[in-house]
Amino acid sequence: MSNAHTHTNARSLLAMLCLSALLGGLIAVALSAALHPSPADAAPASAAALESSFTAVAARVSPAVVNVNTEKEIRQQTWGFDIFNFDPWRDPWPPFRPQTRVRKLTSLGSGFIITPDGYVLTNAHVIGGADTISVTTGDDKTYSANLVGIIADKDLAVIKMIDGPTDLPTVRLGDADDVKVGSWAIAIGSPFGFSETVTVGVISAKGRVVRQARGREEMRDLLQTDAAINFGNSGGPLVNTAGEVVGINQAIFSPRGTGNIGIGFAIPVNPDTKAAIDKAIRASRRRV
């Protein structure tokens, strides 16, 4: 009887140990799954977080992005026959007279507000040769603007809104030196006049050198991005996921001139760029 009882107790103890080990293993697996989700479980959360960062950047930066509108008057001297003012009995022959033809050229680009009192950064080529400049803000209000300064070697221009508010939304300037190839890039601007358009891509390369068409000047040390940049995006901000402007959209590569093919370029915002911008603003404030 004693030996049978001993064997029974041993079997019971062994069964309890096995059950405990099984329960422990199940608990460990459950904890591991909770602490280290599988890629399938993690993907929706990561996608949601990424989407949230994009929407937050758009909400923060878009109000400070503006349309830059310019107008230039072109006068051309031509010869023509003024049939309405010609008197064949009095006016000399031949009846052709010099005439002045006046044409108005308008262009549209982008820019962004860098101070609450209305200093705006854009490309120099956006406002080059303009007789008048105006800025339309995100709330569809338009203000005249004056040219403050040109940073020629960087194709940048600082303009100042006239009689605008002094509490305007502004962007935060970052540092392109900290940007890595493969980093997210968000372009905001007015391609083809569609204001506050947001496109997303990555930084494709740094330090690009690009020669403009027909042998014009070189553009150096550019950021390359596949975030869609189209006509009218020039002068708009290229932003990181922290909402900091790391580049100023400048140009695209388009073999047939038809628009974006995924190769766009932006002027990097770095300490040298920021120093040049600050210098232009300080000189403007001293003149006031």
How do residues 97-110 score in pLDDT, each as one tens digit? 666 677 777 888 99
Hey, what are 235's tokens?
């002068």
How do residues 206-255 score in pLDDT, each as one tens digit? 999 887 666 566 778 999 999 999 888 999 999 999 999 999 999 888 77
How do residues 150-165 score in pLDDT, each as one tens digit? 998 899 999 999 998 9
The residue among 104, 102, 99 whose CA lies nearest residue 78 is 99
Average pLDDT over residues 37-46: 57
Query: Is 175 known to be catalytic?
Result: no
Hey, what are 67's tokens?
């349309």
| Contact by Cβ (8 Å): 67, 140 | no
**Res 1: pLDDT:** 47
User: Partners of 111 in the beta sheet?
Assistant: 66
How many Cα atoms occupy the beta-carbon half-sphere of 12 within 13 Å?
6
Domains and CATH numbers, the chain: 63-161 (2.40.10.10), 172-277 (2.40.10.10)
Q: Which of 125, 221, 254, 284 is catalytic?
A: 125
**Res 79: pLDDT:** 63
User: Partners of 150 in the beta sheet?
Assistant: 157
Q: Looking at 21-35, 71-85, 120-134, which range is the least confident one?
A: 21-35
pTM of the model: 0.75
Residue 270 pLDDT > 60: yes
| Radius of gyration from C-alpha coordinates of the chain | 32
**Res 91: pLDDT:** 66
Q: How confident is the model at residue 2 (pLDDT cuts 50, 70, 90)?
A: very low
**Res 253: pLDDT:** 84
Give the chain's mean pLDDT. 82
Most confident of 1-10, 13-22, 91-100: 91-100
Q: How confident is the model at residue 196 (pLDDT cuts 50, 70, 90)?
A: confident
Q: Tell me the C-alpha distance between 148 and 146, whole Å.
A: 6
Sole residue written with tokens 């911008």: 277
**Res 158: pLDDT:** 97
Q: Which of 134, 155, 190, 226 is catalytic?
A: 155
Query: Is 125 known to be catalytic?
Result: yes
Query: Is 234 known to be catalytic?
Result: yes
Residue 279 pLDDT > 60: yes
Hey, what are 247's tokens?
């580049």
| Contact by Cβ (8 Å): 165, 231 | no
Hey, what are 19's tokens?
């059950």
How far lies 273's CA from each of 68, 136, 246, 270, in Å?
21, 25, 11, 5
